[in-house]
Amino acid sequence: MSSRLLAGRYELIEKIGEGGMAIVYKAKCRLLNRYVAIKTLRPEFTKDAQFVENFRRESQAAAGLTHPNIVSVYDVGQEGNIHFIVMELVEGKTLSELIEEKGRIDYKEAISITRQVASALSLAHKNQIVHRDIKPHNILITNTGVAKLADFGIAKAVSASTIIGGNNKVMGSVHYFSPEQARGAYVDERSDIYSLGIVLYEMLTGKVPFDGDNPISIALMHINEPMPSVTDEVPGLPPQLEKIIMKATDKYQTNRYRTADEMIEALDNIEFITKVMGNKAFTIPTDGFEAAEEPAAVQTQERERAHRSTEKRSEKTETDKSAEKAKKLSTAFIIGAVAVLAIAGIIGLGAMLGWFGGDNEEIEVPSFVGKTFEEAQTEAESLGLKIEKGEDVYSPDQEEGKITSQIPTEGSMVTEG
């Protein structure tokens, strides 16, 4: 189709990509004298009136989204049996190509890309648009490092790794879609957040968390298999980054971030810590982080409530030895450390970084899972420990009011009190 003129103004120059349902061309708009990308539906799909209508409606919805991290849609048209969409031409490569090229992406760059995509999703979700197919193939990275989200349900590629429903309705790419998509259940904004968590995992490790011989087996993994630990694959990552991935990819929608903005805030906390303290804040073993993070925070289960309680708590303990070591630090560093404690909600960060000494006896953390908070509190006090109740979550494994998880985990060694 190259060298053809569409709508009397778009001169097709060359094919630059294709998927199962569409072909993308580089073109020049003669009217505005600029280069654009034009996506055309494959002829075999133009005979399905419902699909063409969805194509037109969803592309028009995407055209209403103006955001630096969203590929702009300029025009939608038809010429004969050719249905096309005119979009911003992004000079760069897809995130999937970047992952294939680098293998693993540095966690700071991965955080930046994830934050940009989450920012794009924030605007889309506020406009009642759910993407439903977040994956590296739909994320374009410009030559200057800007991430741009494309294909808001416009023409998702159908391949061996894509599951479709009746009337060729694309449900999502199986390696990235949420458990509710796999079950054919209700899909909302938190389904996009799940997929973005999977993408973040792949950027950090160079591979998807769930893979198998066929789409059905992979879909079942999303429903039944626990999310693998990213720090097991890549030691030395910020522990909080793993917590973000785990929360974003929780099997239950109510346990995930409620909005993309919440996920952005969590990512910003990690960036802030890194800027203030550098990588030193994250070069300690995971057990050390867990022990210092908060005093045996436990989560109790509540089946009915979808909203979550405030996550961030902060607490700062000062001793003579901490003050003595703090004198060796610059004033700016000390101020930054206090800000990190307040913003990131990391309790005892000074102990995590080795600021606090002392010969306090370490205590092995017992398991509180399956007990009521009152029972756990009594046991903790008998051991010289303090615990705090975390958020209420849904769990199929525990009765209402029983503890379903704890941080630090059973067997971790913590200081008395």
Rg over CA atoms, the chain = 25
And the tokens for 201? Answer: 């995992």
Q: What is the pLDDT of residue 17?
A: 83
Rounded to an integer, what distance in angstroms lies between the CA atom of residue 377 and that of residue 163? 47
* Average pLDDT of the residues in 159-185: 69
- Whether residue 263 is predicted with pLDDT greater than 60 in this model: the reply is yes
Q: What is the pLDDT of residue 343?
A: 35
- Whether residue 284 is predicted with pLDDT greater than 50 in this model: the reply is no
Q: Percentages helix, strand, coil for the chain, rounded to the nearest 5?
A: 40, 20, 40
Q: What is the pLDDT of residue 360?
A: 57
pTM more than 0.85: no
Rounded to an integer, what distance in angstroms lies between the CA atom of residue 142 and that of residue 138? 13
- Whether residue 315 is predicted with pLDDT greater than 50 in this model: the reply is no
Which pLDDT tens digit goes with each residue over 128-141? Answer: 888 888 999 999 99
Out of 43-47, 173-177, 196-200, which region has the weakest mean confidence (pLDDT)? 43-47
Percent of the chain with pLDDT over 90: 39
Please say if 392 is a catalytic residue: no
Q: Is the dihedral of CA 358, 363, 367, 373 positive or negative?
A: negative
**Catalytic annotation, pick one of 133, 151, 192, 250:** 133
- Average per-residue pLDDT in the chain? 77
Q: What is the pLDDT of residue 313?
A: 44
Q: What is the pLDDT of residue 400?
A: 82
Q: What is the pLDDT of residue 153?
A: 58
In terms of pLDDT, which residue wins out, 18 or 165?
18
Cβ burial of 409 (10 Å; 0-12, 13-18, 19+) is middle
Phi-psi sector, 354: left (phi>0), alpha (psi -120 to 50), beta? left
* 50 within 8 A of 56, measured Cβ to Cβ: no
Which pLDDT tens digit goes with each residue over 76-117? Answer: 888 888 889 899 999 999 999 999 999 999 999 999 999 999
The enclosing H or E element of 335 equals helix 331-344
Q: What is the pLDDT of residue 405?
A: 81
